[in-house]
Amino acid sequence: MPTARAVSRLPLMAGSAVLAAVVVTGCSSEPGPTPAKPVITAHDSTTTPGAAPTATPTLQTSGSPAFGSPSSTPTGPPIPTGPALRALLPTTATLPAGWTIKGNGNETDTGTYIVDDPVTPTLPQEPCTQMRLSGTILSQDLKASGAMKEVYDGENMAQVYLAAYHAGDAAKLLGEIRAYAERCKSFTGKGIDGKPVPLTVTQQPVPGLGDEALDMKKVPQGPYHSEEILVTRIGDRVLFLSGDDILGRLPRLMQLATPLSKAVK
């Protein structure tokens, strides 16, 4: 039987627009996306210890789910800073069985600065060919603060990104992401050899996870890597779990979803 490394996928070429998306908030100490996870370019231009859950959420494949709507007035505690969100990220003690952290997990956060006046959203105009399913990318619009950590289910890395938003903005962001997935459900990117690569994007609601949750996948034709992101809104915070199948399979994001979504409330 081949090992995961023996069936690794080819990366798709990276683009500059992805880097631009990461720095839109300005005063942040977060790094850009992990360089080892290349993406597609334009073709034409917490800590509550507990055991792993006995059941994981399942994807809903039919029906029209009722999604949350933005809050009309601020509720709950003040918006947490980056370090406060960082304290809610998983630890070795809170991860499900089989998951590990290497070193400090490359932890980063946005510092003590809270964005009081988020920049104009850019996701509605983002080209499909620049799509990357990563919390460091999809979290940017309307974000007030954030923190990131990397965890592993064996060899497969998953990025855990937790972001906080002003009242109602988290629900708006989920609407943006769903619209982006619908608009880009079929497009053409570019392989590392310069050849066109057709891609499809799917989205499925995940019932019973947070206030609303979405599982999104980007799958190319041919021997190129696929990406997946599980986006969960918990009030005015959003948890992003993402990874790819460069090593042969996607990380088991559903195993992380239940315990982490409960821990970040």
d(CA 78, CA 198): 44
Residue-wise pLDDT for 119-170, tens only, equals 789 999 999 999 999 999 999 999 999 999 999 998 899 999 999 999 999 9
pLDDT of residue 243: 97
Instruction: Say if 210 falls within a structural domain.
Output: yes
pLDDT of residue 74: 45
Please tell me the total count of domains within the chain.
1
Number of Cβ within a 10 Å radius of residue 208: 12
Continuous H helices in the chain = 16-22, 82-86, 135-138, 169-183, 253-263
Instruction: Say if 44 falls within a structural domain.
Output: yes
Instruction: Say if 67 falls within a structural domain.
Output: no
Instruction: Say if 225 falls within a structural domain.
Output: yes
Instruction: Say if 68 falls within a structural domain.
Output: no
CATH of residue 129: 3.40.1000
Residue-wise pLDDT for 164-193, tens only, equals 999 999 999 999 999 999 999 999 998 888
pLDDT of residue 10: 64
| 238 closest CA partner among 158, 172, 152 | 172
Predicted TM-score (pTM) of the model is 0.75
Are 232 and 162 in contact by the 8 Å Cβ rule? The answer is no
pLDDT of residue 76: 54
Are 197 and 12 in contact by the 8 Å Cβ rule? The answer is yes
DSSP state letters, the chain:
---TGGGPPBPBPP-HHHHHHHTTT-S-----S-TTS--PPPS-------PPPSS------SS--------SS--SSPPPPHHHHHTTS--TTTSPTT-B--TTTT-EE-TT---SSPPPP-GGG--GGG----HHHHT-TTEEEEEEEEEEETTEEEEEEEEEESTTHHHHHHHHHHHHHHHTSEEEEEBTTS-EEEEEEEEEE-TTSSSEEEEEEEEESSSB--EEEEEEEETTEEEEEEEE-TTSS---HHHHHHHHHHHT-
pLDDT of residue 13: 58
pLDDT of residue 9: 65
Range of the domain at 230: 5-60+74-263
pLDDT of residue 263: 87
pLDDT of residue 119: 77
Instruction: Say if 150 falls within a structural domain.
Output: yes
Which parts of the chain register pLDDT below 70? 1-77
Instruction: Say if 69 falls within a structural domain.
Output: no
Instruction: Say if 82 falls within a structural domain.
Output: yes
The amino acid occupying position 227 is E
